[in-house]
Amino acid sequence: MPTTAGSLALAANQPDRDAPITARLRAAGAVLIGKSNLSEWANIRSSHSISGWSAVGGLTRNPYARDRNTCGSSSGSGAAVAAGFAIVAIGTETDGSITCPAAMNGLVGFKPTVGLVSRTGIVPISHSQDTAGPMTRTVRDAALVLNVIAGSDPADPATAEADARKTDYAAALEAASLRGVRIGVARFLTGYSDGTDAVFDANLERLRQAGAVLVEIKDGPDMDAVGGAEFTVLLTELKADLNAYLATTDPAQVQTRTLADVIAFNRATPRELALFDQDLFEAAEATGGLSDSAYVAARETSLRLAGAEGIDRLLKDNDVAVLIAPTTGPAWMTDVVNGDHYLGSASTLPAVAGYPHLTVPMGQVGGLPVGLSFIGGQWQDARVLALGYAFEQLGPQRVAPAFPASLNSTRAVAPVLAPIHQEP
């Protein structure tokens, strides 16, 4: 099947072989039923993008309310598993593209340590931050999938340590327990919505009752500084990495051989720019390359602030096994005029550091799912999954979707929106 990144520029980009993670899944007996839609170019084309939309696939809809957004960029992966089309999907993440759609579609989503899973064959944004990972209904399913897809790939130098680092992630769940485990409550990663914070606080009490020792952490790294440095890194690596990827495609199938070619293609293709622009592509095209001093400094800064002085310091100074926070808020209504109404998430620190990040359903806000994030140190994937599994066992959290057209039409909401009839 074509690997399109949702763009008409790659509509005929049909590889002649499976990606390594696809080959691993087939060899393990998985039945692949198709490729799902995504936010076009993994949401890196425009700062005004609409998550879940691509020129190739159209708009992906949230099964919990079809006028609500699926987040992205792995929008179709999240919606497909939530809707029951498949038990498992593979998403890819640069920053939030597995964990956000998983949380907003009521799923488990796991972003592994960068370098644990091959990226070969995946349309890239950033060799520093890109990774693939499982999106499932349970933590056990995520662990089973990770058992299959984790491993070294000679074509992806980032995975050199993967074979030595991987373990049996499903087996590590068996003895999972929260009793006596010190967990850092990352208060600086809350505030996405009052309803989400209320669900989060209720789950903190459940964790305490299960024996976890909760350590309040009010302050974290300067997220503005992390985000600014990350932005420079992503734009610079997008140009370099996408140009390198396009050079490997079949010229008979893909006429756009560079990012500059894609920008020109979009300008000449009305459907591509019908809803939003390509300002991020244009900013990436203007970057100075991987040897540019601004890029080199930004990568050092982002990695240091998110890693050594971020997650590593928070774990060590507070003597905690993981950090927890709400993954993001509930799904916003899809807005084709103003774009996404994104209120923030817990994804940036682990994304920039390249560390594992798991989201597990923790309840609902107004009928929309929200997730609880578990964030650990580098190569602590098994520990993060085990603690997420132990939390999942505290009780049912995932509620299957009912596919309403809108929350406004549901039995709980529609009567409240109607006026009270008063006799004259």
Secondary-structure breakdown of the chain: helix, strand, coil percentages, each rounded to the nearest 5: 40, 15, 50
Measured CA to CA, the distance from residue 146 to residue 176 in angstroms comes to: 17
Average pLDDT value over all residues in the chain: 97
- Summarize pLDDT for 164-223 with one digit per residue, the tens: 999 999 999 998 999 999 999 999 999 999 999 999 999 999 999 999 999 999 999 999
**DSSP state for residue 371 in the 8-state scheme:** E
Q: Mean per-residue pLDDT for 245-273?
A: 98
> What pLDDT is stored for residue 330 in this prediction?
98
Burial class (CB in 10 A: 0-12, 13-18, 19+), 247: exposed
Contact present, 39 and 49 (Cβ < 8 Å): yes
Taking the alpha carbons at both ends of the chain, their separation in whole angstroms is 65
> What pLDDT is stored for residue 421 in this prediction?
79
Is the pLDDT reported for residue 323 higher than 90?
A: yes
Contact present, 147 and 169 (Cβ < 8 Å): yes
**DSSP state for residue 94 in the 8-state scheme:** S
Secondary structure class of 363 (helix, strand, coil): strand
Measured CA to CA, the distance from residue 422 to residue 391 in angstroms comes to: 49
Helical residues (DSSP H) of 105-161, grouped into ranges: 139-149
Q: Mean per-residue pLDDT for 48-63?
A: 98
Using DSSP bridges, classify how beta strands 213-217 and 108-111 pair: parallel, antiparallel or unpaired: unpaired
Is the pLDDT reported for residue 46 higher than 90?
A: yes
Quickly name the fold that domain 8-410 has.
Answer: Amidase signature (AS) enzymes (3.90.1300)
**DSSP state for residue 418 in the 8-state scheme:** S
Band (pLDDT 50/70/90 cuts) for residue 237 is very high
Query: Is it true that the peptide bond before 73 is cis, omega within 30 degrees of 0?
Result: yes
Q: What percentage of the chain exceeds 90 in pLDDT?
A: 97
Band (pLDDT 50/70/90 cuts) for residue 67 is very high
- Summarize pLDDT for 379-410 with one digit per residue, the tens: 999 999 999 999 999 988 899 999 999 999 99
**DSSP state for residue 291 in the 8-state scheme:** T
Is the pLDDT reported for residue 423 higher than 90?
A: no
Measured CA to CA, the distance from residue 120 to residue 194 in angstroms comes to: 40
Q: Mean per-residue pLDDT for 117-140?
A: 98
> What pLDDT is stored for residue 248 in this prediction?
97
Secondary structure class of 90 (helix, strand, coil): strand
> What pLDDT is stored for residue 328 in this prediction?
98
Q: Select from 385, 398, 397, 388 the least CA-distant residue to 143.
A: 385
In 12-94, where do the E strands start and end? 53-54, 58-59, 88-93
Q: Mean per-residue pLDDT for 286-292?
A: 98
Is pTM beyond 0.95 here? yes
> What pLDDT is stored for residue 175 in this prediction?
86
Structure tokens at 46: 């425009």
Contact present, 151 and 24 (Cβ < 8 Å): yes
Is the pLDDT reported for residue 114 higher than 90?
A: yes
Band (pLDDT 50/70/90 cuts) for residue 422 is confident
Contact present, 336 and 48 (Cβ < 8 Å): no
**DSSP state for residue 370 in the 8-state scheme:** E
Burial class (CB in 10 A: 0-12, 13-18, 19+), 202: exposed
